[in-house]
Amino acid sequence: MGRGLRAVWSTPPRVRRRRPRARPAPTTSWWRAPRAEVPVMLRTQGKRTVSGRSAQREDFAAAKSARLAERAAAERARAAAVAEILAHPGRMERVRVSDAAREVLLDLYADALAVGADGTGPPVTGIPGAAAQLVVHSDPAARTVVASPSGRLTLVGRSLEVRLERPHTSSTEATG
């Protein structure tokens, strides 16, 4: 045996490395190309998926309960805003409300204007969750000022009226 061959066989296996094969050109014939590594599952059954244990089912209970809590909090905030609007029955000339109540009031105002846009009836909308309506009156001399922590809104030529179908009792009066 030659000296060079003895040196190769005497080196530990971790030192001996195979040279990486160069990838064949795309135009190489499959007759002359080196063998491709094909997974056993693909070779025997034609399936490309890896079989094994199925994934563990995800638990969305915590996320669902968080969303339900957020929704309940939003509904309570909206109910408080509606109660704040209902605390001002009759015509509103100058009113101070919270930001949440201002948003609800502007939504109701927009709904009322949309209902009365066709001109067939007065601009009126029902207040959800209450036996009341918001009526928009058009009068050139009217003026409504809605003040909130975010600023002041002045409606010129319009007045807003909250009509209660039955007397509204606030939650503090009802619980005593």
Question: Full-prediction pTM beyond 0.85?
Answer: no
Q: Residue 71: what pLDDT?
A: 96
pLDDT digits (tens, 9 = 90+) for 96-126: 999 999 999 999 999 888 887 777 778 888 8
CA-derived radius of gyration, the chain: 38
Yes or no: say if 124 and 94 are a contact pair by the CB < 8 Å rule: no
Yes or no: say if 162 and 88 are a contact pair by the CB < 8 Å rule: yes
C-alpha separations of 72 from 83, 89, 175 in Å: 16, 27, 21
- 4-13, 42-51, 88-97: the lowest-pLDDT one: 4-13
pLDDT mean over 141-164: 91
First vs last Cα of the chain: how many Å apart? 108
What is the C-alpha to C-alpha distance for residues 75 and 68, in angstroms, rounded to an integer? 10
The SS3 of residue 83 is helix
Q: Where are the domains of the chain?
A: 62-166
Does residue 168 register a pLDDT over 70?
no
Q: Residue 23: what pLDDT?
A: 79
Does residue 176 register a pLDDT over 50?
no
pLDDT digits (tens, 9 = 90+) for 21-73: 677 788 888 888 888 788 887 888 877 776 667 777 888 899 999 999 999 99
What is the C-alpha to C-alpha distance for residues 162 and 166, in angstroms, rounded to an integer? 12
Q: Residue 14: what pLDDT?
A: 56
Residues 6+ apart with CB under 8 A from 148: 96, 97, 98, 99, 101, 102
